[in-house]
Structures are given as C-alpha cells and as structure tokens.
Chains A and B, each alone.
Chain A
Amino acid sequence: MAGSILEIKDLHVAIEDQEILKGVNLTIKGGEFHAVMGPNGTGKSTLASAIMGHPKYEVTKGSVLLDGEDVLEMEVDERAQAGLFLAMQYPSEISGVTTSDFLRSSINAHREEGDEISLMKFIKEMDAAMDYLDMDKNMAQRYLNEGFSGGEKKRNEILQLMMIKPAIGILDEIDSGLDIDALKVVSKGINKLRSESFGCLMITHYQRLLDYITPDYVHVMMQGRVVKSGGPELAQRLEAEGYDWIKQELGIEEETVGQKA
C-alpha cells in the first residue's frame, strides 16, 4: 500500500476564544518522519490535538486533509478509522476498563464487522509488542492508564501505535518524563514502524528524542506558526545553539502565542 498524505493548510485554532495556531502549513507523506520543535507555549501540542479533534479546540480557519478527505468534517473515531493516530501527552485514565479490552476494541474498530481479530491472534500480537517494549505483561490486565507511571503511560501509547498500525502517527511529546532507557525502548518501537506506508509527526521540545529517531524534516514553531523548516541538521543546530538565533533571524522577541509578533 502506498503511503497516505496528511495536508495541513493555513490552520487556525482557538481555545476559549484565544487563537493559538495562526496559520500552520505542513504536509506529511507516508514514509516520512517529521519533527515539530519549539519552545513551550508555541502551539505544538495544540496542532496535534486539533488534528485529532480534541473537544476543547476549535478550528477557526484552514483545512486538514488526509488523502484528500476533509478530516475536520469527521468525528474523532472517524479520523482514527481513516488512519490517524495521536499518542497523547496526557492519556486519560479509565477505571474498570482493562488495557487489553481497550486495545482489542481499538483494533476491531479498524476492522470490518465480522472480521474481528481472533482472541488468540490478538494475545499473540499484544504479547510480542509488549515484549518489544519491555513492558510488564500484567499491565494488560490493569485498568487503562490507572495508576500507571509516566513512563508506563508513554509505553502504553506506543503499544497502541504498534498494534493499530495507523497510516499517520502523531506523537505529542512522547519523550517527556522518560528516562534514557525508557526513551530508547520507546524509540525502538517507533522505529519499527518505519515503512513507506507510515508517516510520522513527532512533537518535542528536546533534541534528545531525535538522537534515537532520525527525522527527515524538522520544523520549528513559534507564535502559532511554523517559522523555519529544514533537515536533521536543523535539529542539531538547535541542540547546539538553542532557539535564540532563529528569533534574531526572524526578528521575534517573544516566541509564545500570547504575544504580538
């Protein structure tokens, strides 16, 4: 299967009447890994949440297309079924629903009725993915994210990513709160998905993640826009020199969204 294309065009997004994104343009194709970087408060996570359809975010202008289909017209579950996946920065805790039951429902939601995954096949795949991510097997029977440590929640997000195998994966600060060993494991899981049929958008404000997952493209966000794009070398320069040179180059004094340019 050839890869999908996610096109974000002039995207404006507001939360509680405050505009956070002020015209984001990005195109992600199957096989490509994009990193969106930037200091805190510049709209990176808003971008991820708005694409997935978080109820608090309102798209005020622009479009998001997946293989030409209007994503913004879709309900959240339809977006997922169309091939989008968001590994969340703060996954919800859901009491009484086991991780395993949730995963199975998720996988079946991507399949036709009557073509549900067999229990044996599901368990086999889940065990393999959990081994790959060095996860404690007991986690499958624990309630979804309830009482999970920060690291366990992130691994659980990647477990879902690996099992659902979306066309486009968006990772919202998957590296935050992870120690270096956990980061290596999580990266290993993400790298395993690399193929022509998988496109990835990684949101991070640390270069650290990109030491383990090499991006094809790097974008810098400030003031709710993508202000600079480049290859992996851009990330390395940010690591070495920080963001100040970009601000100087573009004449930006305050990079966060609340300020005027």
Chain B
Amino acid sequence: MTVDTKLPYEKDYVSKFSDERNEPEWMKSLRLQALELADSLPMPTPDKTNITKWNFSQFKHKAEGQVIKSLDELPDDIKVFIDMENHDKNLVIQRNQSIAYKSLSSELEKKGVILTDITTALHEHSDLVQRYYMKDAVAIDENRLSALHTALMNGGVFVYVPKGVVIEEPLQSIFWQEDNEVATFNHVIVVAEENSSLTYVENYISHNQDQQAVANIVTEVIAHDNASISYGAVDNFAKGTTVYVNRRGVAYRNATIDWALGQMNDGHTASENITHLIGDDSTSHAKTVTVGRGHQIQNFTAKIVHFGLASEGYILQHGVMKESASSVFNGIGKIEHGASKSNAEQESRVLMLSKDARGDANPILLIDEDDVTAGHAASVGRVDPIQMYYLMSRGISKTEAERLIIHGFLAPVVKEIPIKAVREQLTQVIEGKVY
C-alpha cells in the first residue's frame, strides 16, 4: 500500500470482498471488469489543476462501525447534523462501512419509497440498482478513478421514489468516517420516477489530520419526466483525506435537479458536478460554496449540458480563499445542437483573504445552437474596502465586518441547504474555517 502507480488491491481481494457482502453476480463481475480497466485508464484531468501527485492509492479499504441503538449514543459533532426533535426521520447513518442507524417513516415505506444503504439495496432491489448503477450518469471507464471506484465501492445509499410520490420531509444520509484511515468509496444513487419529488441531504465527516485516506465518491441522480430533486450536501472531510467527488445528474422532460453543495473539505479536492439536461424544459441550478485554507488545492468543475429544448441551467460558484489555499472554479454551460430556446448562465466568484491565496474563476460557454440565451460572470477580488468602511462606520469591528461580508458572500448557496440543522452546521463550519 505505497504511493505508486500500481493498483492497491488485486483481483482476488475484490472478488472476495464482493463475496463477503453476498453481492449479486452482476455486481461482482462489474467490479472485476472495472478493476481490469483501471490499470490502463488515465487519471481524470480537471482543467487547470494537476492532481497526478495527489494520494489516491494510500488507504485502508475496510473498516466496520458499531451499530447504535438510539441517536442519543452519537457523539455531539455528529448529532448536530440531525434534527433531533423530529421523531419520524428519514435517515441513514453510515459509520465507516457499516450502517449504524436507519429509519424511514412508515408512510413513505408504504408508498414504496426506498432509502437504504447500498449493500442492502443490492440484496433487496438488485434489478433496480442494476438498472441505474453506472449506466446513464457515470460510466465505469471514464477514467482511472471511476474504474477504481467501481471496483472498490464500499458504501453509499440508494434512494428511490416511485411514480407520483411527492415527499415533503427531507431524506438524509450521514457518512461518518470514524476510522482515520479508511477510504470512502461511496456510491449514492437517487432516482425520482415520473411526477415525483424529493429533497435529499448528505453529510460527509472525517477527523483524520495526519493519517492519509482517500474519498472516491460517485453520485448518480436521475430525475424522470416531471420529477423534481433537490440535492444538498455538506462535505467535511478532514485534512488527511484526498477527495475525488463526482456528482452527476440526468434530467428528463420537464424535470428539475437542483444542487446546493457546501464543499468544506480540508484536504485536496477535485469536485465534478455535471448535469445532463436531456429532456425538453428540464432545469438545473448547480450551486456550490467552499472555503479554502492552509495549503489546500481544490478544483471545482460544475457543468450543465443542454440537450433538451428550452432547457435551463444555472451555475453559481462562490469561494473564499485564505492563507495559501488555491482553487480553480470552472463553470461550464454547454448547449448542444438542437437545444434551442435554452438558457445557460454561469457565475463564479472568489473572495481572497490573503495575498498568498489563489483563486481562478472560469465561466465557460460552449454553444452549438443559435437560438439560445446565455450569460456569464466572474470575479476574483478582495473584500471591498468601501463595504468595510460602511459597516465599520456603524461601530462594527473590522473582524465582525469581514465576517458579515464573508457570510453574505456565501449566503446564496448556504440558504439553499434544505435541513435547518445542516444549514446551521454549514454556517458553523464556515465560521470555523474562516477564523
């Protein structure tokens, strides 16, 4: 398990790992197929960030976690993400690779809603999982990391909402990496059938400062005709974890996928958030915020590809960079030929808090169709001294004025995070990272 180009795990290991989990045959063969591919595939190449020296091979692949009897047993730093007063929660807590807690309201269960860990889903809904797993959104052979992910997948959840079912209460996952060296090869699938709607929120938490770990996450979100998915996330991997997170959506006719991602990792992070607007009149808002600190290097690529007529895609990226952190924000709107009347807008803004911080905001428009509207905006700058003057002229201290401006700058995304407890937690995380 040293840092080299050799694959960290062999065929026998993967095969045995699949057997231990009693996985269906298709999953085992998919893993083995992917493992073979991984050897020859290139690493992903996020634009303007070189990730070739990042640690993607040094990690531990397996770690169990204890089941809890009640949420009260959770440590406080996990509890804060949960709305403890709501007793009819729809919640999965994954502790390392074990499911520590799982609950789904009986009402939703009756309606055929599935919210469960990926292993259980593979046992109980094998065909359904197979229909979506690395099919319409992410392919196993996109790059070395997508192949490795498929071969070594060790956690995640499966969310399925049947036709016409409208869920008001959010569905929530908490991925708690209690073991400081275990890798997170999480696979999340969210499927909304026709005319259904749901809100899903996930939290990633780890505490490894010096121990090295890897997170290689794939999320596939499918919104069928007239479905609507609101997807919120707060990623909070500690400094020792190198993160590659690939969140992808596919929206069919008149469907909506809205992303609100609070990407608060402390380690190197390459984040890819791509939405394919396949159907006519489909819509996506892709919003992300981040705070970079230390010597952290990050790349955030948000891309919305328009295939359907009159499809609408809005990208909003806001980042605060401090100390020697550096980040690249690529906001890409691509309108394919035939997607007339579509609208693509990208906005990337970076606020720099120190002279050594770096931020690069690149809104990009790629248009193969005439009859469309599009717009983009980008800025990289420091805190406006005139705004500071205005706030301070009311007696507000320099620190507090800066704090207000930073929170204000991140607010357009923070306020979109669906669960109040999670939103407040994100605010706390921002607070902690900025000061």
What is the interface of chain A, defined by CB distance below 8 A to chain B?
A: 52-55, 75-77, 79-81, 85-86, 88, 91-92, 94-97, 101-102, 105-106, 109-110, 143, 160, 164
Once the chains are docked, how many angstroms separate the CA of A95 from the CA of B400? 15
> CB distance A143 to B389 under 8 Å?
no
A143-B395 contact given A92-B384, A92-B386, CB 8 Å threshold: no
Contacts of A109 in B (CB 8 A): 394-397, 400
Contacts of A86 in B (CB 8 A): 393
Partner of B393, one of A80, A94, A95, A143: A80
Q: How far is the CB of B319 from chain A (nearest CB, A)?
A: 14
Instruction: Decide: B411 and A105 in contact? CB cutoff 8 A.
Output: no
0/1 string, B380-391, CB within 8 A of A gives 1: 000011111111
Is B434 an interface residue, CB under 8 A from the partner?
Answer: no
State whether the Cβ of B412 lies closer than 8 Å to any Cβ in chain A.
yes
A-B contact pairs, 11 of them (CB 8 A): A77-B396, A77-B398, A79-B393, A81-B395, A94-B391, A95-B412, A96-B408, A102-B404, A105-B396, A110-B395, A164-B395
A55 to B386, CA, bound (A): 7
Quick check: B395 and A94 within 8 Å, CB to CB? Answer: no
Instruction: Report if B101 contacts A (CB, 8 A).
Output: no
- Who on chain A is nearest to B406 by CB? A96
CB distance from A99 to the nearest CB of B (A): 12
Q: Which residue of A lies closest to B384 (CB)?
A: A92
Q: Does B409 interact with chain A (Cβ within 8 Å)?
A: yes
The distance in angstroms between the C-alpha atoms of A92 and B401, with both chains bound, is 13
CB pair A91 B390 closer than 8 Å: yes
Q: Is the CB of A105 within 8 A of B393?
A: no
Contact B389 A54 (CB under 8 A): yes
| C-alpha spacing A52/B387, complex, angstroms | 14
Any A CB within 8 A of the CB of B410: yes
CB of A156 to closest CB in B, whole Å: 11
Chain A residues whose CB sits within 8 angstroms of the CB of B411 once the complex forms: 95-97
Chain B hits for A88, CB < 8 A: 390, 393
Contact yes or no, A97 B385, CB < 8 A: no
- CB <8 Å contact, A143 and B408: yes
- Residues of chain A with a CB closer than 8 A to B400's CB: 105, 109
Task: Provide the bound-state CA to CA distance between A52 and B393, in Å.
Answer: 7
Chain A residue with the shortest CB-CB distance to B414: A96
* B151-195 contacts to A (CB < 8 Å): none
Known contacts A109-B400, A143-B408; is A94 also within 8 Å of B394 by CB?
A: no
Beta-carbon nearest neighbor of A91 in chain B:
B390
B405 within 8 A of A: yes
Of the candidates B392, B404, B410, which one forms a contact with A75 in the assembled complex, judged by CB atoms under 8 Å apart? Answer: B392
In the complex, the 5 A-B pairs of residues with the closest C-beta atoms, listed nearest first: A96-B408, A96-B411, A109-B395, A80-B395, A106-B394
Query: In the complex, what distance in Å separates the CA atom of A195 from the CA atom of B215?
Result: 65
